[in-house]
Homo-oligomer: A and B are copies of this chain.
Amino acid sequence: MEFTLIDRIRERTAQGRDDVRLGIGDDAALLAVPAGQELAVSIDTLVEGVHFPIGTAAADIGWKSLAVNLSDLAAMGATPAWALLALTLPSADPAFIDGFATGFAQLAQSYRLALVGGDTTRGAFTVSVAVHGFVPPGKALTRAGAQAGDAILVTGTLGDAAAGLRLVQSGNSGIDLRSALLLERLNRPTPRVAAGLALRGHASACIDVSDGLLADLGHLCAASHVGAEIEAPLLPRSSALLDLFDEAASRDFALSGGDDYELCFTLPVQHVAAVQADLARIGCGATKIGRVVEGSGVSVRDADGRWLEPVHRGWDHFGA
């Protein structure tokens, strides 16, 4: 069983990376980090009914389990290299395994990522992925480093995944184009790896938006010992989101919805235009949404200049 799944992914991602000295099949893999590079490492778990709705397609689960981890590497400005996969399943369902392997491998191939270790066990459905990437010493983006006066930007649009989850919960299977776009954002998030690399040497701090803008920007502020002021009218929202949800709902999704996997980053205001141009050249929009201030915490102002009290402050996957 173990070798079926792992082999299916490996055979779809076989890439002859020089830095994989010994791949899957022994007690451990043997890997060589390139000279002059440090290793960025992260692990994340997806649980059915918590990180994706029950009934999510196997290929989407495979894709997303890797995507959320690659998003962590993106937030550090690291180049993805290797992954480990620990999959626990109630039964060895060949169709599920084939779908999972397909989705995982599709995303892995985009980055020449090698699967270098795996373990499959029988039990309640859980998937943990660990990813490894490279970054030159001292060049990684971190959550610390934001300075009062810096601009705050986000890539792409916010709130789409949370809106997609709302559609699933209300029984909308995404048959029209706008619904399908939101569901795609929920089920097939695109890690902002190229944007993270482009931000090296420019962003003063960076985090990925996995638990919602307010929660994640709050983490960035805490690590940087600063506060943040967000202008709600500047929040980038997709036309699909704005078409299907009213202003209050779409704003709440954009502020507090999780699972977007965009990057939120800070940089000196005089560099904003140049960095936006750099990101545009790699097909990634980036929008200025506010500024870093002295103090602590994240404040949000509406179009009339009134301070808002957000409904949620982000998703906590472990509950209260």
B-contacting residues of A (Cβ < 8 Å)? 1-2, 21-22, 25-33, 38-45, 47-51, 71-73, 75-76, 78, 82, 84-86, 88, 92, 116-126, 128, 130-133, 135, 137, 140, 142-144, 207-208, 223, 316-319
Contact = CB atoms under 8 A, between A and B. Distances in A.
A41 B318 contact: no
A71 B133 CA distance: 25
Nearest to A143: B26
Among A86, A208, A317, find the residue whose CB has the most chain B CB atoms closer than 10 A. A86
A222 to B, nearest CB: 10
Given A32-B38, A124-B123, A140-B30, A43 B117 contact: yes
Among A22, A73, A144, find the residue whose CB has the most chain B CB atoms closer than 10 A. A22
A118 B43 contact: yes
A39 B32 contact: yes
Contacts of A85: 43
What's the number of copies of this chain in the assembled complex? Answer: 2
Nearest to A131: B28
9 contacts: A25-B143, A26-B223, A27-B72, A28-B40, A28-B76, A30-B40, A45-B128, A47-B88, A121-B318
B116 A318 contact: no
B119 A28 contact: no
A22 B317 contact: no
Contacts of A48: 123
A46 to B, nearest CB: 8
Contacts of A75: 27-28
